[in-house]
Structure 1
Amino acid sequence: MSEKKTILVVDENISNRKILYKIFSDDYEIIEVENEKQAVEILKEKYKYISLILIDIVLSVIDNYAFLKKSKSMPELAIIPVVVTAQKYCEYDEVNVLSMGAADFFANPYKPQIIKYRVANIINLRETAAFANIIENDMLTGLYTQEAFYKVAKDLLRENPNKQYDIVCMDIENFKLVNDMYGELEGDRLLCFVGECFEKFIQPTGGYASRICSDVFLGIIPCFGQSYEVDMVKTINDALAFYMANMKIVIKFGIYKPSGLPLTIRAMCDRAKLAVESIKFKYDVFYAFYNEEIGIHLYEEQQITAEMKYALEKKQFHVYFQPKYNLQNDRIAGAEALVRWIHPKKGLISPANFIPLFERNGFITDLDRYVWDNTCKKIREWRDKGYKTVPISVNVSRTDIYNPALPDILMQIVAKHGLIPKELHLEITETAYTENPKQIIQAVAHLKSLGFIIEMDDFGSGYSSLNMLSELPIDVLKLDMKFIQCNSQQSSCKNILSFIISLAKWLDLLVVAEGVETHEQVERLRNMDCNYVQGFYYAKPMPAEDFGSLLKNSEIDDEEDFENMHFNTGHVEASIPTGVKKMKTMLIVDDVEINRAVLVETFKELYNIVEADNGSVALNYINEHYNEIEIVLLDLIMPEIDGFQVLREMRKNENTRWIPVIITSQSGENSEAKSLLLGASDFIAKPYDTSVCIRRVENVVAYAMMKEQERHKN
């Protein structure tokens, strides 16, 4: 016999057999038969050598189902996995064949690479000792493993046919950030704690809990005619709220309620997983039930996946350009390249429908290269026509960043079209930096050293924005539109926006505000000294031909304006408005009256001032009026209770731990370090400099407002 494993193909249609032969023949020996009778004869003779059976569903419905039953009832055949094929996808057929023991279901048009991997995985699973000897308990949490859970859940359903059970999938959102920020040991501790909470909720009901991978858990829970979802969310989230005060953990749940269809446990669990996937990153939505819409969405994604390569080959993807304008002179200073899928039958397919999918399945790499190449090609064409060109920003996905060949790929594309790196700005999303900071920073630093201009896209949408900003090798900060589209009367939004622009200048970064839609927004940004804007107020994304015409007929910003635009590092202009109605309170805590008097004089037009001459009085006031206080200026050296004790008590209290505190004391590295370690927001040294005090308070308050918005996003 050949060293290759053998696949038995059962299909009466010779064309179908040829297709499957072409897909698998390089890796497997193929035996072809036309019907169930021939298949059984082959199996009787060669069952020891056959690793998998591929059988067509339209061979004959009766024969097909009979064959599945027979193969599972005969001991020598039961261990051979059976995969059913079909000429088109039908959920009913898939459910039926899976419920009868089929290992998988493939619908035409086949996706060769995908079904080859699936077949290989099925064969390997069957042949490994792990398949026959299931390890029951997860080594980290002690819960059931995935395969053990499938077994006990299946037994539970079989032994209780008259009871209704739900399958629950629990997922920790952005768990990778926990590992990155606190280390893998802390991540493991969190997994154990979450698993324990999950099991404590499920076990008293007579159900079971498991951890199936990383931060994903599965459970089976009986239904008693009443809802348990809200109680489950509250019970587990309440426990997590006290786990670690500075760690904001978000748990999501997906629930599948069996509908009577004869599904396998694995299929039920897959539907619960789909339900939880449907609410990932949706604010204030903590659980979802599987429904047909989710199934339809999955089917639509499968269709997109099936067509994506053909669409790229046939140039159905088009590169559009949205111009950026210099706010100082309203000239075109650049553009962003955006991809659009114009389908011959479906018309324009929204990027929201395919970009996230391509990021998950890896096709984003091919699409990005296509966009980079076409963008450089267009720049070259416009220049050859005599147009004055501008730098174009292109998106670089997280998948691209991890590719060590990325610098060579980009340099080859730029050189191919006779351009230089600085003409292609590289946009990298903030979330990419938070996932693997060290590796991303190294990769981006290399790109920057080659001459590419680096832009951070979607700033404000991530979780460690301000903490990481000073470490990142970037040139341009693109503000998330959420910061720009605040109501003009909301001073907190304006303060945050002003703070971020000031911070960017302090770090010697240029700022692009994207998503600008009104004249009011433009004027506000101009007053804040923002550099560039992009949005519908100026122009929508447009085809390459239209953007070429715009370049030809518009005033273009000088390239030197960008290259020479630098800032005075270390200076942030104070911009606390005067004459604003005083709504919030500043608490000044100092036992020396003259020190309090200086601060009162500085801030009396900006806040309702409350003074305290010792820590004990201050703590009492803070605990009673925490929802009125915007900021605390706290002296360190005081009788009775000193500033360190006040700060420590504030950070232990859930109601007061978020109030920003600036320490005011004599300068000294030990005092400053200890204060910051205990959670102080900043440090102001005595004697006071009025302008420093105002600038520090403005920055700390704006920072606190931004962190509050980030917490609410969770």
Structure 2
Amino acid sequence: MIEWEGNDMSADKLHNKDIDDVLRLVRNVYHTIIYINLTDNSFRCIQSNQLDIQRLLANSENYERMAARAAEAGMVYAEDAQEFASFLERSQLRSQLAGGKEYLSITYRRSKGGRYRWEMIEIIPSRDYKADRQVVLLCARDIDEEHQRELDKEAKLSVKERQLVGDKTVLVVDDSDLQRTTLCYFLEQHYKTVEKENGFEALEYLKNHSTDISVILMDLNMPVMNGYEFLREFQKDEIMRMIPVLVLTSDNTPEEEAGCLKAGATDFVAKPFNPDVLLSRLQRAIALHEKTVMLNVLRMDNLTNCYTRDYFLHLAEQLLARYPEEDFDMVCTHVVNLPNINEQYGAKQGEAILRYVAQNHDQDQWERSVYGRLDDATFVQLLPHSAGSYQKLLQQQSDELHEYKTVKEGLPPFVQKYGIYESVDHSIPVSVMCDRAMMALQKILHKYNQLINLYDDNIRLYALKTQRILENMEEAINQRQFQVWYQPKHNIFDGRLIGAEALVRWIHPRYGFMSPGEFIPIFEDNGFVAHVDRYVWEEACAAIKRWRDMGLKTVPVSVNISRKDFIYFHDEEMLKPLLAKYGLEPADLHIEVTESAYMDNPDMVIRKVNEMHRDGFVVELDDFGTGYSSLSMFGHMDIDVVKLDMSFIRQEQNEQSDKMMRYIIDMCKNMGLSVLSEGVETEEQRQRLMKMGCDYVQGYYYSKPLPEADFVDYLRKHS
């Protein structure tokens, strides 16, 4: 919980007592309360028990910066982000409040762990709000349950509208052709009808169409499966038993009526039926169960018309219970880079893609399957297993989506990736099955050429290792288990030491050396990489100062800026104070930016990188050529050095590969950029790069990454 300090704040306190009084009443209602002065663009956090909001506030120097970051940081559901950002704009708030509004609010979906909850932000101006003292409170609270109740009311109205247009369906179950035909002839003037001859046929139909039926009209005495037997089986299914059942009976004895009610019937209709009585009882049965129908409506995702996550899990559980001996696969499908599509082409285009994906996975393709939407860009399907055949189908779908412009004129191209848990274990919860498919998917989200991945023991072990890393990461920072090692960079022509790259290593007291390839991707996913980066920045600055204090001639050290840093990072509050603290200049610290960070949010990265370049930092573009290359970067971003990924130098040498490398190096040189190649291990590779005009090299040919003490010796040797 972030609180104001307990010192006397009489001069710095809220401007009027009425707001101060309100605070005592609302602290238990709102999870976050922020005091904002719109006049001077300042803010102060009164309280917040939300860790992500605490981090956001701690890294924002004024209100406008905080509001912009809140919209950019992935805290708000993608479809609500634009409206959210517009609402919080300082100029927008000042304009509305100047017009005399006494209260402003917005409801939005807040993303948390791949899911969302509805929240509300309320802006409350002080009683003496005026042009030179525009003081307000921003209060945020969770309204998920309240919002669902409102949706219930809306859904009820929707149900009434459908009732007026007569789109309800009656399932008529009777072994008498004459009786069934007569009933349907009469009912079709008011409802749609489906006919079945006995209880068994009705149950089989309901297994796949229970949500289509509004009411069941059933005879008791039928062959194969009579009405009592039907009701017993019918009541075992939570979805089916929400449908009202009216029993047709010629024996109106109290015993029979009691038996039917006990078995689960809703009402009775005597034979021969009276049309007015039948209609009245049908309408009453449907009205009594309207809330059940309404809840079914709420279980559908509004945008895609797929089942919501929770309802999907419920239906999948029912499906597996119904067919315990059959093999099923759980498949998670993800639309890659949907936020970028929304940014470049507009949210409407992104929504159209999601609707297309949902239609493309029509569950009618498989008789026994269920399909739902997990989060913004991820869908999930439980479908019958057929050894290998689904892979061919998914590949066909992927090929089609690669050529989406020809399939659906006017929409942007996009790619889907699939995580698959084959032949699910029926003994584990459905949510765990989803988790396994998601783990398979997450392993390939950043792999350019892989579209499908199967869950296996390696992924299970990876999940266990991931959990171990997550449980130890905070302690690792606090106990300084992370070490910064340095890999030298050399001039390719004369061999001079011209710099070093700072690389993080984790030496755990129990597990020993942990490879960066194991923990960095996990930290990038959960945002902890920002803490590690800042740790490395400070360690590198402190090391350069130590080396100078030893009388050594130092070289610039390159530090990495990760994707998450671009959400919170501002060099005025991060790098410059570190340089001042250790008496360094911007030229002492080179900044490495990856291509993938650029592709995630080009406009923001360009703006911030160019700011750093203007401040004197040398900017290096790292991992060039790893699948995200975009020549537009060079036209918009102020880059000094291009670092060729080690995959370039390690690929098989041939005329074609040499031409490609020479072309890239020539292009960079023509643009006034220096070129550094990573992963150089042999004299032959160094000579080859030198002939092509490469400026600098880094790799085992000169040195592996070194702990600081060893790098100090290296510095002395090459001074």
User: Above 0.5 in TM-score?
Assistant: yes
Alpha-carbon distance in structure 2 between the residues aligned to 1:534 and 1:464: 21
Aligned pair 1:252/2:431, yes or no?
no
1:215 aligned residue? 377
- How much has 1:284 moved relative to structure 2? 5.2
1:454 aligned residue? 619
1:501 aligned residue? 665
2:148 aligned residue? 129
Q: Deviations over 1:419-474 (max 9, x none)?
A: 01111001010111111111111111111111111111111114342232221121
- How much has 1:398 moved relative to structure 2? 1.2
1:418 aligned residue? 583
Amino acid at match of 1:365: A
- How much has 1:27 moved relative to structure 2? 7.7
Alpha-carbon distance in structure 1 between the residues aligned to 2:538 and 2:49: 35
Greater alpha carbon shift after TM alignment, 140-149 vs 286-295? 286-295
2:19 aligned residue? none
Kindly tell me: are residues 528 and 180 of structure 1, through their superposed partners in 2, closer, same or farther at Cα, counting changes over 3 Å?
farther
Which of 355, 368, 373 lines up with 1:206 in the alignment? 368
Aligned pairs (5 A) from 1:153-232:
153-199=316-362, 203-223=365-385, 226-232=387-393
Counterpart secondary structure, 1:398: coil
Q: Deviations over 1:366-404 (max 9, x none)?
A: 111111111111111111111111110001111112215
Kindly tell me: are residues 509 and 384 of structure 1, through their superposed partners in 2, closer, same or farther at Cα, counting changes over 3 Å?
same
Kindly tell me: are residues 554 and 162 of structure 1, through their superposed partners in 2, closer, same or farther at Cα, counting changes over 3 Å?
closer
Amino acid at match of 1:338: L
Kindly tell me: are residues 313 and 468 of structure 1, through their superposed partners in 2, closer, same or farther at Cα, counting changes over 3 Å?
same
Aligned pair 1:522/2:541, yes or no?
no
Alpha-carbon distance in structure 1 between the residues aligned to 2:317 and 2:655: 57
Alpha-carbon distance in structure 2 between the residues aligned to 1:266 and 1:255: 12
Counterpart secondary structure, 2:505: strand
Aligned pairs (5 A) from 1:659-698:
none
Alpha-carbon distance in structure 1 between the residues aligned to 2:693 and 2:529: 36
Aligned pairs (5 A) from 1:430-509:
430-488=595-653, 490-509=654-673
Structure 1 contact 316–342 (Cα < 8 Å) conserved: yes
- How much has 1:499 moved relative to structure 2? 1.1
Aligned pair 1:143/2:306, yes or no?
yes
Which of 513, 527, 542 lines up with 2:706 in the alignment? 542
Aligned pairs (5 A) from 1:90-101:
none
Counterpart secondary structure, 1:540: coil
Counterpart secondary structure, 2:507: strand
1:242 aligned residue? 403
1:59 aligned residue? none
Structure 1 contact 325–532 (Cα < 8 Å) conserved: yes
Which of 250, 254, 267 lines up with 2:432 in the alignment? 267
- How much has 1:5 moved relative to structure 2? 8.1
Q: Deviations over 1:294-334 (max 9, x none)?
A: 23322221111111121122221111000100112110000
- How much has 1:127 moved relative to structure 2? 6.9
Structure 2 contact 366–383 (Cα < 8 Å) conserved: no
Kindly tell me: are residues 136 and 478 of structure 1, through their superposed partners in 2, closer, same or farther at Cα, counting changes over 3 Å?
same
Structure 2 contact 419–455 (Cα < 8 Å) conserved: no
1:395 aligned residue? 560
Structure 2 contact 491–695 (Cα < 8 Å) conserved: yes
Counterpart secondary structure, 2:458: helix
- How much has 1:492 moved relative to structure 2? 1.6
Kindly tell me: are residues 284 and 475 of structure 1, through their superposed partners in 2, closer, same or farther at Cα, counting changes over 3 Å?
closer
Counterpart secondary structure, 2:659: helix
Structure 2 contact 490–698 (Cα < 8 Å) conserved: yes
Kindly tell me: are residues 180 and 506 of structure 1, through their superposed partners in 2, closer, same or farther at Cα, counting changes over 3 Å?
farther
2:231 aligned residue? none
2:409 aligned residue? none
1:345 aligned residue? 510
Alpha-carbon distance in structure 1 between the residues aligned to 2:336 and 2:522: 18
Structure 1 contact 448–473 (Cα < 8 Å) conserved: yes
Aligned pairs (5 A) from 1:9-158:
129=148, 133=295, 135-158=298-321
Q: Deviations over 1:342-381 (max 9, x none)?
A: 1122221000111111111221111111111111111111
Counterpart secondary structure, 1:535: coil
Amino acid at match of 2:460: G
- How much has 1:217 moved relative to structure 2? 0.8
Q: Deviations over 1:566-585 (max 9, x none)?
A: xxxxxxxxxxxxxxxxxxxx
Structure 2 contact 598–606 (Cα < 8 Å) conserved: yes
Structure 1 contact 206–222 (Cα < 8 Å) conserved: yes
- How much has 1:261 moved relative to structure 2? 1.6
Counterpart secondary structure, 1:524: helix
- How much has 1:181 moved relative to structure 2? 4.8
Aligned pair 1:510/2:674, yes or no?
yes
**Which 5+ residue runs of structure 1 have no aligned equivalent?**
7-25, 29-112, 556-714
Alpha-carbon distance in structure 2 between the residues aligned to 1:530 and 1:378: 29
Kindly tell me: are residues 499 and 182 of structure 1, through their superposed partners in 2, closer, same or farther at Cα, counting changes over 3 Å?
farther
- How much has 1:487 moved relative to structure 2? 2.2
- How much has 1:272 moved relative to structure 2? 1.7
- How much has 1:266 moved relative to structure 2? 2.5
Alpha-carbon distance in structure 2 between the residues aligned to 1:378 and 1:27: 36
Structure 1 contact 255–276 (Cα < 8 Å) conserved: no
Structure 1 contact 254–290 (Cα < 8 Å) conserved: yes
Alpha-carbon distance in structure 2 between the residues aligned to 1:520 and 1:297: 37
Structure 1 contact 173–252 (Cα < 8 Å) conserved: no
Amino acid at match of 1:211: R
Aligned pairs (5 A) from 1:516-595:
516-555=680-719
Kindly tell me: are residues 218 and 371 of structure 1, through their superposed partners in 2, closer, same or farther at Cα, counting changes over 3 Å?
same
Kindly tell me: are residues 288 and 529 of structure 1, through their superposed partners in 2, closer, same or farther at Cα, counting changes over 3 Å?
closer
Alpha-carbon distance in structure 1 between the residues aligned to 2:570 and 2:494: 39
Q: Deviations over 1:483-518 (max 9, x none)?
A: 122222x11211111111111112111111111111
Q: Deviations over 1:67-94 (max 9, x none)?
A: xxxxxxxxxxxxxxxxxxxxxxxxxxxx
**TM score, norm. by length of structure 2:** 0.57
- How much has 1:256 moved relative to structure 2? 4.8
